[in-house]
């Protein structure tokens, strides 16, 4: 025979008629002779009856409710909320749409900015920009050329002046010894050195006539420096002949005037 504990678990289900028919029969037979389980069954029955207080309360509250009206109210409320949610969604979409032109404008501006930045700072221009960055003063290229030309003209005129002065002394000397005393090798050498420096300038600024004349003078000075410190009368005469034949003094005057008039 099984213990009461085994049957007691089924008391509630027996009371509620939730056991299958065989089990219900077995339980019924047990209850006939077990006073403990009878007591348990009575107490459960009483408890269930007590819980009916809440059940009755529930029934009373339900009696007040107008279910038909509630049915409509719930449906309307749910569909209203759904519509307001979808309206809120479309309003948000419209709000975004209103900003679209501004956003498009901003993007276009950014693209243009990027394009011009690239155009101005493109890699091909980096050396140019770097050289600009290194110089303290940025001058137009034409201005620099003009300055170079003016300086070359000034130097050439200066050179021609001093050469002319020497040639005149050579022509006006009364004797070979007087000419030798005046035309020292230092003076001639100084003019030759100056000519070497002048060569680059004359080539750069393309003063062709002046360069040709300066070259002729240079030739003369080279011959002069090769003579002995005490030149003879014949040598002096030969030099004078060169100066006169080549009309060096005249040419010097003409070139000087030309340079002076074209001076910046």
Partner 1 sequence: MEQENADYGQSNPEFLVGRIKEGDKEAFMKLVGLYQQKIYVLAYSMVREREDALDLVQETFLRLYEKINSYRSGENFNAWLMKIARNICIDFIRRQKARKKESLDNLNPERLDLGDGHDDPSRFNPGELIHQAVVSLPAKQQAVFILHHYQELKYVEIAEELKISTGTVKSLHYKAVRKLRKLLARQLGGEA
Q: Which stretch binds partner 1 (CB under 8 A): 25-33, 70-78, 118-126, 157-165?
A: 70-78
Residues 8-27 that bind partner 1 (CB under 8 A): 9-10, 12-13, 16, 18
For 137, half-sphere exposure in the C-beta direction (CA atoms, 13 angstrom radius) is 5
Which residue from 176, 126, 180, 161 is spatially nearest to 249, judged by alpha carbons?
161
53 in contact with partner 1 (CB under 8 A)? yes
50 in contact with partner 1 (CB under 8 A)? yes
Helix (H, G, I), strand (E, B) or coil at 10: coil
Which two three-digit tokens encode residue 40?
């348990």
Write the CA distances from 259 to 6, 159, 213, 262, integer angstroms: 138, 12, 13, 5
Q: Which of 21, 51, 134, 228 is the binder for partner 1 (CB under 8 A)?
A: 51
111 in contact with partner 1 (CB under 8 A)? no
Residues 213 and 252: beta-carbon distance below 8 Å: yes
130 in contact with partner 1 (CB under 8 A)? no
CB of 111 to partner 1, least distance (A): 43
192 in contact with partner 1 (CB under 8 A)? no
Helices 233-245 and 141-172: angle between axes, nearest 10 degrees = 140
Helix (H, G, I), strand (E, B) or coil at 20: coil
# residues contacting partner 1 (CB under 8 A) = 36
For 123, half-sphere exposure in the C-beta direction (CA atoms, 13 angstrom radius) is 0
54 in contact with partner 1 (CB under 8 A)? yes
Q: Which of 6, 28, 70, 84 is the binder for partner 1 (CB under 8 A)?
A: 70
82 in contact with partner 1 (CB under 8 A)? yes
Q: Which residues bind partner 1 (CB under 8 A)?
A: 9-10, 12-13, 16, 18, 43-44, 46-48, 50-51, 53-58, 61-62, 64-65, 67-68, 70-75, 77-79, 81-82
């Amino acid at each position: 025979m099984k213990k009461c504990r085994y049957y007691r678990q089924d008391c509630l289900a027996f009371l509620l008629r939730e056991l299958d028919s065989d089990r219900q029969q077995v339980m019924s037979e047990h209850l006939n002779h077990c006073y403990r389980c009878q007591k348990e069954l009575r107490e459960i029955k009483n408890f269930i009856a007590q819980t009916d207080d809440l059940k009755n309360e529930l029934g009373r509250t339900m009696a007040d409710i107008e279910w038909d009206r509630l049915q409509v109210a719930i449906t309307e409320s749910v569909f209203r909320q759904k519509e307001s949610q979808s309206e809120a969604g479309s309003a948000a979409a419209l709000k975004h749409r209103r900003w679209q032109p501004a956003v498009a404008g901003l993007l276009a501006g950014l693209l243009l900015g990027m394009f011009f930045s690239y155009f101005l700072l493109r890699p091909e221009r980096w050396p140019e920009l770097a050289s600009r960055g290194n110089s303290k003063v940025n001058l137009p290229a034409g201005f620099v050329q003009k300055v170079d030309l003016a300086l070359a003209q000034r130097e050439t005129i200066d050179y021609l002046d001093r050469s002319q002065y020497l040639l005149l002394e050579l022509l006006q000397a009364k004797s070979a010894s007087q000419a030798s005393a005046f035309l020292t090798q230092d003076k001639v050498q100084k003019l030759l050195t100056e000519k070497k420096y002048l060569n680059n300038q004359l080539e750069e600024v393309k003063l062709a006539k002046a360069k040709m004349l300066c070259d002729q003078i240079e030739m003369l000075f080279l011959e002069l420096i090769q003579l002995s410190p005490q030149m003879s009368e014949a040598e002096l005469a030969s030099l004078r002949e060169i100066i006169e034949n080549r009309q060096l003094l005249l040419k010097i005057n003409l070139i000087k005037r030309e340079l002076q008039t074209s001076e910046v």
